[in-house]
Amino acid sequence: MLPLYLEKLTLPELHQRAEALRQLLSECRICPNECLAKRTEGETGECHSTDEVIISSVGPHFGEEPPLVGTNGSGTIFFTNCNLDCKFCQNYDISHLGVGEKASTTDLARAMLQLQQRGFHNINLVTPTHFTPQIVDALILAVEKGLELPIVYNCGGYESIETLKLLEDIVDIYMPDIKYSIDKNALKYSGVQNYWETVKL
């Protein structure tokens, strides 16, 4: 069975999606923070990131739900930084301290292909929200070189509807780790506005 991006979209359509996402990045509206940082010019957004992708690790993961792990494991790419500021984050060194290495779009595409070559069942993008445009750019490069694994979008649930619409038929499985049903708690512990109202949309 083909992943959605091969079944539903052509390469020109993927390029159109990538361009639309890059436009959202110029004065950043990728996520509901809508901080308007000029990340492509080196400004840092609420996610503590410019447009340079930072990856903390690439490799197998067996701690996800059984259908994702299967027999060979889920192929994870852990992205550094986050559009949330959770005080309790279990990946504090990654999300708050920025531990990781810079990766070009080509590097990211290569990582996707390596995960496929190692026999994992999917590409599991962990905390991908703030790097969505670069991920789609990398996906295009990987597709051109034979990528055909489904995409898992493993996020904190604080997502922009506009961005999600551009990811339609690109992402196969969404895994939003929804943290709050009370907005004031989200503001207190994760530093974001209207969390519950946003994740309900």
Using one digit for the tens of pLDDT, what is the confidence trace for 73-125?
A: 999 999 999 999 999 998 999 999 999 999 999 999 999 999 999 999 999 99
Mean pLDDT score, 131-144: 98
Rounded distance between C-alpha atoms, residue 115 and residue 29, angstroms? 30
The per-residue pLDDT for 104 is 97
DSSP state of 96: T
What is the pLDDT confidence band of residue 67, given thresholds at 50, 70 and 90? Answer: confident
At 201 the pLDDT is: 79
Q: How much of the chain exceeds pLDDT 70, in percent?
A: 100
Angle formed by the axes of helices 11-26 and 132-144, nearest 10°:
160
Eight-class DSSP state of 167: T
Report the pLDDT value the prediction gives residue 147, as an integer from 0 to 100.
Answer: 98
Whole-prediction pTM? 0.95
Average pLDDT score, the chain: 96
Asked whether 158 and 195 are in contact (CB, 8 A), the reply is: yes
64: closest CA among 149, 131, 122, 148?
122
Model confidence at 68: pLDDT above 90: no
Q: What is the CA radius of gyration of the chain?
A: 16
Mean pLDDT along residues 136-145: 98
Residue with tokens 């992943």: 3
Q: What is the pLDDT of residue 64?
A: 82
Position 127 scores a pLDDT of 97
- State pLDDT tens for residues 1-44: 899 999 999 999 999 999 999 999 999 999 999 999 999 999 99
Name the band, by pLDDT with cuts 50, 70 and 90, for residue 65.
confident
